[in-house]
A and B are shown apart, each in its own frame.
Chain A
Amino acid sequence: NAGVMQNPRHLVRRRGQEARLRCSPMKGHSHVYWYRQLPEEGLKFMVYLQKENIIDESGMPKERFSAEFPKEGPSILRIQQVVRGDSAAYFCASSPSAGGLGDTQYFGPGTRLTVL
């Protein structure tokens, strides 16, 4: 049973370029969460999605960041016109279809974005 998959594991972009981060949840999971971990900090919630729906994006920066979870395929976190401050590790987690407060979130290995 494959876990949560994220790719790429490492991504280097120059300022002004676009970054696309992909997350494939565990089989049978239809809830996806994205978190950002800045250096020397804990994880910060960004967005919560279900298939074809953004449920809560209260942690997403208002500009340049977007997320989707299409009916088919992985969830995508897109960062347009990256700046140095976007350099961080981005983690995806998935949970079973119940989506309740007591669920366990299963985390992927993360994508480490470096902006030059």
Chain B
Amino acid sequence: AQSVTQPDIHITVSEGASLELRCNYSYGATPYLFWYVQSPGQGLQLLLKYFSGDTLVQGIKGFEAEFKRSQSSFNLRKPSVHWSDAAEYFCAVVEAGTGFQKLVFGTGTRLLVSP
């Protein structure tokens, strides 16, 4: 079965600094990969997704992610973090063989932004 690993439970970044959140997946073929953000007390919002093609994907709010098949990674990046980016970030992959978008989520990384 597919799985997603987000090795960092918490990350603290200074406002204006760059950010990279790690995501590793296990999957046999080309995966469908997603990054979602969850603000406190809110539902999840899609930041970006990757299916095929260009391995560098641009998303909303200035985020981007790079798919690296050799490393089984899909890390999320932002060049300059804003205080409003403080939230929990989830990486997800579509489980293979189901015929629909059955998402498998990582355990999340909580981002704290310091002034």
Chain A's interface size range is 20 to 34
Contact A105 B43 (CB under 8 A): no
A103 CA / B8 CA spacing, docked (Å): 28
Question: Closest CB of chain A to B29's CB: distance in Å?
Answer: 12
> Interface with B: A11-19, A43-51, A64-72, which one?
A43-51
Contact A105 B45 (CB under 8 A): no
Contact A100 B101 (CB under 8 A): yes
Say whether, besides A107-B44, A110-B43, A101 and B90 are in contact (CB < 8 Å): no
Chain B's interface size range is 20 to 34
Contacts of A93 in B (CB 8 A): 44
A109 within 8 A of B: yes
Max chain A CB contacts within 10 Å: which of B42, B90, B103?
B103
Contacts of B100 in A (CB 8 A): 31, 48, 55-56, 99-101
26 contacts between A and B (CB under 8 A): A4-B43, A41-B107, A41-B108, A42-B90, A42-B105, A42-B106, A42-B108, A43-B44, A43-B105, A45-B95, A45-B103, A45-B104, A48-B102, A91-B44, A99-B100, A99-B101, A101-B51, A101-B94, A101-B100, A101-B101, A102-B32, A102-B49, A107-B36, A107-B45, A110-B42, A110-B43
